[in-house]
């Protein structure tokens, strides 16, 4: 889901190293304080827009933390999806070494996403209850970008896009994401192209459905890890994928702990069983054969 139409162009004027040096000389080493138009930083980052996006529903001072941490997580969901889409593109082209960079960045973004939970550790049930009812049926379960992230990681349940049917653009994007191979699908196809014996029904399956653990994929990873040489890029890929899976698993664990801290086992705002539903979702493992193969290594 690229958003190239939102990229700033004319508002930010490019400069060369020579122009930067000349400006610094004219300023005597001090920062520039006068601009003809909009401040270039704001033209690029749109900070003034970002800081107008918080619209709390109550006067409770703690709600701003809840709202902004949620928005920060949305941004990190989108950033991680960006990296994983690039990873898929490079794997599809057999550019394994190049795919490691966006994959490692994705793991770091997920690490930062995990750190965002710390901004809510102050919240007790009493704190949350002061504004929870005002949220109505609003729930993180309804995050379209989180669904994109799950789909890219191979966690696929077509039923979960139903809430977006009346948001036609979002629904079309999620439908397209379901029809596109996940990172794990691309990895499995890559293993097959590198000579690992994987059955046709696995390689030709409907990618809109969730991948089921297959012993042939597990066996392929056991063989990959048997070669500890520095030129074994598949093994490096396996470790980068493992880091992404671990960081994502940590995020889901932190989510459960945050729910326990703020609302215990109450029913969820979005109609689910809350904590129990989240605990069941943890059973769906990202890149499962990378984990199960370690028993046989």
Q: Please, what are the domains in the chain?
A: 4-49 (no CATH), 64-295 (1.20.58.480)
Is residue 163 within 8 Å of residue 132, measured between CB atoms? no
End-to-end CA distance of the chain: 38
Per-position pLDDT tens, the chain of length 297: 444 445 545 578 889 999 989 989 999 989 888 888 888 889 899 999 999 999 999 999 999 999 999 999 999 999 999 999 999 999 999 999 999 999 999 999 999 999 999 999 999 999 999 999 999 888 778 899 999 999 999 999 999 899 999 999 999 999 999 999 999 999 999 999 999 999 999 999 999 999 999 999 999 999 999 998 889 999 999 999 999 999 999 999 998 888 889 888 777 666 665 677 677 777 789 999 999 999 999
pLDDT at 2: 44
Separation CA 68–CA 151 (nearest Å)? 25
pLDDT at 272: 62
Binding-site residue numbers for heme are 255
- Which tokens hold the place of 284? 């769906």
Separation CA 103–CA 84 (nearest Å)? 6
| Three-class HEC string of 202-235 | HHCCCCCCCCCCCHHHHHHHHHHHHCCCCCCHHH
The DSSP secondary-structure symbol of 57 reads: S
Binding-site residue numbers are 132, 255
Binding-site residue numbers for substrate are 132
**The model's pTM:** 0.91
């Amino acid at each position: 889901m690229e958003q190239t139409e939102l990229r700033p162009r004319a508002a930010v004027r490019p400069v060369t190293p020579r122009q930067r040096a000349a400006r610094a000389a004219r300023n005597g080493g001090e920062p520039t304080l006068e601009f003809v138009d909009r401040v270039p930083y704001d033209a690029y980052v749109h900070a003034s827009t970002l800081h107008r996006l918080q619209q709390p529903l109550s006067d409770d001072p703690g709600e701003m933390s809840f709202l902004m941490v949620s928005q920060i997580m949305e941004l990190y969901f989108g950033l991680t999806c960006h990296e994983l889409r690039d990873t898929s593109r490079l794997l599809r082209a057999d550019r394994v070494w190049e795919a490691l960079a966006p994959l490692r960045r994705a793991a770091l973004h997920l690490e930062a996403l995990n750190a965002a939970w710390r901004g809510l550790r102050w919240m007790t049930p009493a704190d949350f209850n002061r504004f929870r009812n005002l949220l109505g049926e609003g729930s993180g379960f309804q995050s379209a970008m989180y669904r994109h992230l799950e789909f890219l990681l191979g966690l696929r349940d077509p039923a979960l896009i139903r809430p977006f049917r009346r948001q036609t653009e979002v629904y079309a994007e999620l439908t397209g994401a379901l029809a596109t191979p996940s990172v794990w699908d691309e990895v499995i196809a890559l293993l097959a192209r590198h000579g690992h014996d994987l059955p046709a029904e696995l390689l030709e399956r409907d990618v809109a459905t969730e991948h089921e653990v297959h012993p042939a994929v597990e066996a392929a990873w056991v063989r990959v890890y048997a070669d500890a040489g520095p030129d074994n890029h598949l093994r490096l890929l396996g470790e980068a994928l493992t880091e992404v899976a671990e960081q994502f698993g940590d995020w889901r664990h932190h989510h459960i702990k945050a729910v326990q801290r703020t609302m215990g086992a109450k029913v969820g705002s979005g109609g689910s069983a809350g904590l129990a539903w989240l605990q069941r979702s943890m059973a769906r493992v990202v890149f499962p054969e990378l984990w199960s193969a370690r028993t046989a290594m």
